Amino acid sequence: NRGSGTVPVSVIDATGRTVLVQQHSLALGINTLRLNTGRLSPGLYLVRVGSGALGVAHRFVKAQ
């Protein structure tokens, strides 16, 4: 669905463990999501927005 709706947002650590799962509401068009990474240890993570073929994933580094 390319319209508005709710999507799952998952953060996965370098070992493949899911460390954060949230639902976010999206509007039609460009959206900005803010994630509280305060409880994450420093390291490399993958954030996945959506699921299946429509999901997108990006790497990010949590610094101290």
Distance CA(33)–CA(27), nearest Å, equals: 11
Per the structure block, which two tokens stand in for 18? 């899911």
Q: Give residue 22's identity as a one-letter amino acid code.
A: Q
What pTM value is reported for the model? 0.82
Domain range annotation of the chain:
5-62
Strands across the sheet containing 43-49 = 18-26, 5-13, 43-49, 56-62
Which DSSP string corresponds to 10-33? Answer: EEEETTS-EEEEEEEEE-SS----
Residue 1 reports pLDDT greater than 90: no
Helix (H, G, I), strand (E, B) or coil at 8: strand
pLDDT band at 51 (very low <50, low <70, confident <90, very high): confident
Q: What are the pLDDT digits (tens) for 9-39?
A: 999 999 999 999 999 998 888 899 899 999 9
